[in-house]
Amino acid sequence: MDRFRVGVIGCGRISAVYKSAFSAMLDSLDIVIAVDKVRERAEAFASAFPGCIASDDIEDLLRMNLDAVHVLTPHFLHRCHVEACLEAGFNVLTEKPIATTIADGESMIQTAERTGRQLGVIFQNRYIEGIQEARRLIGQGALGELRGAWSHLAWHRPPSYYQCDWKGSWEKEGGGVVIDQAIHSIDLVRYLMGCPVEEIQGHIGRRILTMIEVEDEADAAIRFSNGAVYVFSACNYFIENSPIRVCVEGEKGSVLLTESVVDIVLEGQKPYRIDPSLDPGDGHVRYWGNYHAVQIRDFYSRLRAGEKVPVDPRDALRTLAVVLGIYESGKNGEVPVRPGYI
C-alpha cells in the first residue's frame, strides 16, 4: 500500500501533536476526515489538510473508505470509538490508556481479532532513543539481574485543567494522575523490566485538587515476578511540571530517564548519556515529549509491511492493570493486590 486514507476522532488538546506529525507525512498519508463533537474543533483540524472533511458525527467517518483511524477522545469513549472503527473495517491507533476497565480492553482486543483489523495503543515514550538502548542492554543482560526500579512524577495541573466534561471523574477519566499522567512511567518500567507484575500495594489520595473526585497523588510498591520492587510516586499538584524521572537498577548497572535524556551506568565502563534526537519541546507542550510522530510513522510502516502494529493492545492492557491495581489497593486501605490481567 503506497498511500493511506486516514481519519481522526477527537480534535482536542492532543490533536495538535497529530496535526504536526501528519503534516510531515503527507507523502504517504491522506488525512480525509476529522471528527469532533464540537464542530469548530473538527474544522480547525481539517483546515490543515486540503480536501479533509470536518464533521461532528462519527457516522460520517464510519461510512467512508479508510485505512486507519486515530482515536483521540476521552478515556471512557475509547472502547466505543475503537470498536466502531474496527467493525467498519479500519485499523486503529488509539491514545492511552487503552480503556478505563479490563473488560473494555479485552472486548476491544477481541473485536480486533474477530474483524481481522489491527489495533495499536500510543505509548510514545517507548520510542525515546535512550529507552530503546536501555531495553536492548537489559535484553542482553548488560545490567545483570534487575533488582529494582523507581519513578517520580511531580507535575502541575491547575483547577482549570479539570473544568471540562470528563476530566476528574472516576467514570469518564477513570482516575486522576495515575491513569492520565503517570501511566507513561508505569508503562516504561514494565517495558524495561520485561516480566509480569505479581503484587501491588498502593495508596491514593486527594490532597490539593479537592474539587475533583479522583486522586491527585499516589504511591505504590509494585513487585515483579523477578523479585524486583518498583517504587512508584506521582502527584499533579506540584508548582510546575518538573522533569519526569524513571530509573531501573540491576546488579551490574542502572538506567535513568530524566524527561527524554537517559543516563546509563554499567559496571567497568565510563557512564554515558543518550540525548534525544528530537527536541522534546518542539512546538508542543514540553512534558508530552515529541515521540508521537515516531510511533505514528512506525504504525504506518508496520501496516505497510503487514506486521503487528505497536503498542500491542495486550501489553497496553497489562499497563492498565497495574494502574487499576494501584487504585484497588489504595481504595481497600492499601491491601496488596494482584493485577487483574497479567
Ligand X SMILES: NC(=O)c1ccc[n+]([C@@H]2O[C@H](COP(=O)([O-])OP(=O)(O)OC[C@H]3O[C@@H](n4cnc5c(N)ncnc54)[C@H](O)[C@@H]3O)[C@@H](O)[C@H]2O)c1
Site string for ligand X, 129-168 (x = CB under 6 A): -----------------------------------x----
Least separation in angstroms between CB 176 and ligand X: 12
Any contact of residue 21 with ligand X (CB under 6 A)? no
Any contact of residue 37 with ligand X (CB under 6 A)? yes
* Of positions 1, 3, 13, 273, contacts ligand X by CB under 6 A: 13
Beta strands 217-224; 197-205: pairing state: antiparallel
Q: Would you say 31 or 72 has its CB closer to ligand X?
A: 72
Least separation in angstroms between CB 136 and ligand X: 23
Q: Which residue has the cell 481481522?
A: 116
Asked if 48 and 23 count as a contact pair (C-beta separation under 8 A), the reply is: yes
Any contact of residue 171 with ligand X (CB under 6 A)? no
Any contact of residue 259 with ligand X (CB under 6 A)? no
* Of positions 19, 31, 32, 41, contacts ligand X by CB under 6 A: 41
Cα distance between residue 199 and residue 338, in whole Å: 5
Q: Which residues of 128-149 are buried (b: 16+ CB within 10 A; e: fewer)?
A: bbbbeebbebbeeebbeebbbb
5 exposed, middle or buried (CB, 10 Å; 0-12, 13-18, 19+)? middle
Q: How far is CA 180 from CA 14, 122, 186, 275, in A?
A: 13, 13, 11, 26
Q: How many residues bind ligand X (CB under 6 A)?
A: 24
Any contact of residue 180 with ligand X (CB under 6 A)? yes
Cα distance between residue 342 and residue 307, in whole Å: 24
Any contact of residue 35 with ligand X (CB under 6 A)? yes
Question: Which stretch, 10-18, 101-109, 154-162, 209-217, contacts ligand X (CB under 6 A)?
Answer: 10-18
